[in-house]
Amino acid sequence: MAVKLKLTRLGSKKHPFYRVVAATDETRRDGRPLEFLGYYNPMKDPIEVKLDADKIKEWLARGAEPTDTVRSLIKKHMA
């Protein structure tokens, strides 16, 4: 059972809002996550991103793999 750091979609049609979560790789996109790690709002100008660096580092140390999108958010906003 591998853990991934991925996005779950919230918001209404054409107004997306995403949560960054830790979830097993078998979990559906909007299924129950193991833990909430932050959020990403692409509709704001500038884009609004809030990540919990301590929790993300903890999950990465445990072997969780971020998806490509989450990896780019981590690089840009946790530097």
Identify the CATH number of the domain in which residue 13 sits: 3.30.1320.10
Q: What is the pTM of this model?
A: 0.90
Strand order in the sheet with 48-51: 48-51, 35-41, 15-24, 3-12, 65-66
In this predicted structure, the answer to whether residue 66 has a pLDDT above a threshold of 80 is: yes
**Backbone phi and psi for residue 31, each to the nearest 5 degrees, phi listed first:** -75, 180
Q: What is the pLDDT of residue 58?
A: 96
Say which residues have a Cβ less than 8 Å from residue 52's Cβ, sequence separation at least 6.
37, 38
Range of 61's domain? 3-77
Does residue 34 contact residue 25 with C-beta atoms inside 8 Å?
Answer: no
What tens digit of pLDDT does each residue of 3-48 get? 999 999 999 999 999 999 999 989 998 899 999 999 999 999 999 9
Q: How many domains does the chain have?
A: 1
Nearest alpha-carbon partner for 74 in 2, 5, 24: 5
